[in-house]
Amino acid sequence: MVRIKLAASAIVAVGLAACAAQTTYQPRHFEAEPAIAMLEALSTDEMKGRKVGTEENAKARAMIVDRFHALGVSPGVAGYELPFGYGPFEGGETSKSGINILGHIQGTADRDLSMIITAHYDHVGEIDGQIYNGADDNASGVVGLLAAAEYFAENPPKYDISFLALDAEEDGLGGAIAFVANPPAPLDNVALNINFDMLARGDNGKLWASGTAHWPDMKPIVSRVAQSAPVQIEMGFDQGEAREDWTLLSDHAAFFRTGIPHIYFGVEDHVDYHKPTDDFENINQDWFLKSVDSVIMMAIAMDTQLDEIYDMRQAALNE
Ligand SMILES: [Zn+2]
């Protein structure tokens, strides 16, 4: 980090000025200003890369819980926070631990089906004295999740939606694997997992929808929404080619392994991917806002057809 040390108030002033100067796009489904402010707040040097188990990871968690509360997203019976343990357990080594964050918005339909929107809020922390801020990976996905919650809190979905901000993704998908292994409620009625991981860096202008090779029935929905989405959306990175298959590379993998359909939205690796330069300042804010608008459009379409998505999966299982 080669950032000049400023007083906290000066940083806020600079941030707001930058925000005002850089965004012209008006999102259709959420407010731009709190989204940009949250993206910056999660990825400042003060957050020290949000590594699982750290004080700064807990600060990020508190910000997400506060936002859920402010938006009217309901906690589960045990509250918003779901502590979990994860491996390894070898040689007497104690388990590591993290905390997932779960909120709910109830659907209007009578049928008991749900969708889980996920985004990991941890990143890799500090390495060799350098802070890895993880603005794209994955402060951007968390903001996408919160913006979707903002939309659906105002416009109730047809079916229930769980908003799950996951911890320890950067440590072997720890939070997602623990959630699926020990969910607070059975996952039988979960029709779909939509995962957001890296929504901000469209350096080549493309946002990818990955997973339809496994769930081809989702292709028509993705294609249709892509036609009117404000960013270019393509399907792929899910066909089994070495290094080019993202199926097992982020939290959706835990859902995929249990047979729950998933769609993963994210950008390709870029010059700042997993580098100390994955900074707020390197994000094109307009493109980011368009990307978030696009994934909310996808979530709306998938909610509308969630019964069909679920029934198609059941039919495939019975074949
Ligand atoms: Zn990530």
Q: E-assigned strands of 106-156?
A: 114-120, 125-127, 130-132
Q: Is residue 43 situated within a structural domain?
A: yes
Amino acid at 265: F
Amino acid 77: pLDDT: 82
Q: Is residue 5 situated within a structural domain?
A: no
CA of 111 to the centre of ligand 1 (A): 33
The pair phi, psi for residue 208, each rounded to 5°, is: -105, 140
Dist CA 151 CA 284 (whole Å): 22
CA of 170 to the centre of ligand 1 (A): 7
Which residue do the tokens 């590594």 mark? 51
Q: Is residue 200 situated within a structural domain?
A: yes
CA of 122 to the centre of ligand 1 (A): 8
Q: Is residue 92 situated within a structural domain?
A: no
CA of 312 to the centre of ligand 1 (A): 30
Amino acid at 79: G
CA of 251 to the centre of ligand 1 (A): 9
Prediction pTM value: 0.91
CA of 232 to the centre of ligand 1 (A): 21
CA of 314 to the centre of ligand 1 (A): 30
CA separation, residue 13 to residues 39, 125, 139, 245 (Å): 15, 25, 21, 42
CA of 207 to the centre of ligand 1 (A): 15
CA 236, 240, 245, 249 torsion: positive or negative? positive
Q: Is residue 203 situated within a structural domain?
A: yes
Q: Is residue 20 situated within a structural domain?
A: no
Amino acid 292: pLDDT: 98
CA of 162 to the centre of ligand 1 (A): 20
pLDDT mean by block of 10 residues, the chain; 319 residues: 36 47 87 97 98 97 98 92 84 79 98 97 96 97 98 98 97 94 94 97 94 93 98 92 83 95 94 94 96 98 97 86
Amino acid 66: pLDDT: 98
Q: Is residue 160 situated within a structural domain?
A: yes
Strand partners, 117: 163, 194
Q: Please provide the DSSP assignment of 227-293 as one string.
A: HH-SSEEEE-S-S--TTT--TTSSTHHHHHHTT--EEEEEPPP-TTTTSTT--GGGS-HHHHHHHHH
Enclosing H/E stretch for 99: strand 96-105
Amino acid at 284: N
CA of 101 to the centre of ligand 1 (A): 16
Q: Is residue 67 situated within a structural domain?
A: yes
Residues in the chain, how many? 319
CA of 139 to the centre of ligand 1 (A): 9
Amino acid 90: pLDDT: 60
Q: How many domains does the chain have?
A: 1
Domain containing residue 242: 10-15+25-86+97-317
CATH number at residue 173: 3.40.630.10
